[in-house]
Chains A and B, each alone.
Chain A
Amino acid sequence: MSSPAERIVMLDPTLTVTATETISPRLSTLSGKTIGVIWNGRPPGDVLFDQMFQILEDKYDLRRGPFIHKPWLGNVAPPEAFEELAATCDAVVTGVGD
């Protein structure tokens, strides 16, 4: 009990954010922007997304971009979907149903 205490140095167990995970610049406004969607297919996500657009369209002059319905909800969307969204959209919303 009388021996001098040794400091305990612990290694951090968490995964630090890597360079590939940096957050994209935020849009300053939605007006004039094209907004895409990735829906995982769970009902009624399609209804929810439509209502989201109706609310946003009342406030902003935005355009609806591609509406991607993932072919299988348990999988990452196919590369073509990301390419299409990247080529045509200023921002993308992803979400689920239920």
Chain B
Amino acid sequence: MSVLLTSERHDAATYEDAIELAYELGWSDGLPIVPPTERRVAEFLEVNGLEPDTIVADITERNKKITAEKAAINAVMAGCEPGYFPVLVAALEAMADKRYKFNHLASLGSPWPLLVVNGPIARRIGMHNGIYTFGPGNRANLTLARALSLVLRNCAGAKSEDVQRGQWGNSIRFSGCIAEIEDAGWEPLHVQRGFAPDQSAVTVASTYPGSPAHVTVNLNGEKPSRMLDAVCHAITGWGGAQWTRGTYALLIGTHMVDMFVKEGWSKQDVRDYVVENTKATVADLKYRGAWGKYRGDADEAMLRIDPGDDQRSLYLFKRNPEDEYLFLSSATDERDLDVMVVVAGGDAGGRMQITIPYQVSTNAVTKQINERSQSHE
């Protein structure tokens, strides 16, 4: 394959000058970048059998078509190795999927996707999923997260000088990429979502800043459902005056998985328990100001806690007769209200983690990771 790279050239006298020039040109996320030389970018494309002008993400909402060349340049800058690149390509495809709804990344809420990688590629490129999962400490995890952040910064306006006007920003742009532990006795996430065990896939699921967030659970011989009650409580309590609905991820360590497996719980059982039991009383929703928020007639009378309000509950992952009192309801055909269970984390410690989905308009999307070596086998 002949690689004809068409991007504009910028030259510097030394390696150090190149790093400084990248800052001056606004390419960096704040950390030094690896200078994207033609030789290195061409290597990324050749190793993975991609033509430079292949469109890897057509983002209608931004009128941007991200080519393999631009993705590779940013992956080089982030510090990736060529073997990581198919993960980035698949993640971009997932984010350009209509069901992901790319536009939500411009929200004041600063959502950003967590990437969960499954299948053989995760092991082949040395991705991390165990102790101290989110690190820092692992090159593949961190440079892939950074590569996604850089390519969207440089090709799709994902920076505060452009369309991303979020209030707080989101630090998982640097660290939001992990692999799942697949040998803990539960079905891997990508298999649950329709792929074969020997396929590789990446799942993108948007989450607000401050998450994944801790949920402390009781490990002292309690039955598994007691652990999940703490999760249900944490999920329903998130978000202050906004009851946050959408697709959550629940990250569970292997020692906790063992406790569930011993009691006969599958991954799906865990998911179903959280979906069935995450609820809030009308009294609680009124107390926190989530009840009737944005309704034109929301006032003190509506928020007054009446007799019986502490006995009536609404379910976060289901449709409720009184959904009209919740912000946008969210339980429409455009949204998945769901929980993705992911096995990850150290094998000791009393905490699970949850991601908090963007409230309004996104869904988790999974795409197959296509590796050249596999496609020719």
In this complex, what residue of B is CB-closest to A97? Answer: B294
**Residue in B21, B103, B154, B155 whose beta carbon sits within 8 Å of that of A10 in the complex:** B21
**Residues of B within 8 Å of A, CB-based: how many?**
47
Min CB–CB distance B347 → chain A (angstroms): 38
Which one, A1-9, A26-34, A49-57, A82-90, is touching chain B? A1-9
- How far, in angstroms, from A7 to B21 measured CA to CA in the complex? 13
A8 CA to B150 CA, complexed, in Å = 20
How close is A49's CB to chain B, nearest CB, in angstroms? 16
Instruction: Say yes or no: B64 contacts A8, CB within 8 Å.
Output: no
By secondary structure, the A interface counts as loop
Provide the A61-98 mask, 1 if CB < 8 A to any CB of B, else 0: 00000000000111110000000000000000000001
Size bracket of the A interface:
20 to 34
State whether A11 touches B11 (Cβ < 8 A): no
Count, A-B residue pairs, CB within 8 A: 92
CB of A35 to closest CB in B, whole Å? 22
Residues of B within 8 A of A75 (CB): 101, 103, 334, 361
Q: What's the least CB distance linking A42 to chain B, in Å?
A: 8
CA distance A70 to B329 in the complex (A): 16
- Taking a contact as CB atoms closer than 8 A, the residue among A12, A21, A72 that contacts B10 in the complex is A12
B147-163 residues at the A interface, CB under 8 angstroms: 150-151, 154-156
- Output the nearest chain A residue to B6 by Cβ-Cβ distance: A11
B146 within 8 A of A: no
Interface residue? B365 (CB, 8 A): no
CB <8 Å contact, A5 and B14: yes
**Which residues of A approach B to under 8 Å, CB–CB?**
5, 7-16, 18, 20-21, 43, 72-76, 98
Closest 6 A/B residue pairs (Cβ): A74-B361, A8-B18, A12-B8, A15-B155, A11-B7, A13-B73
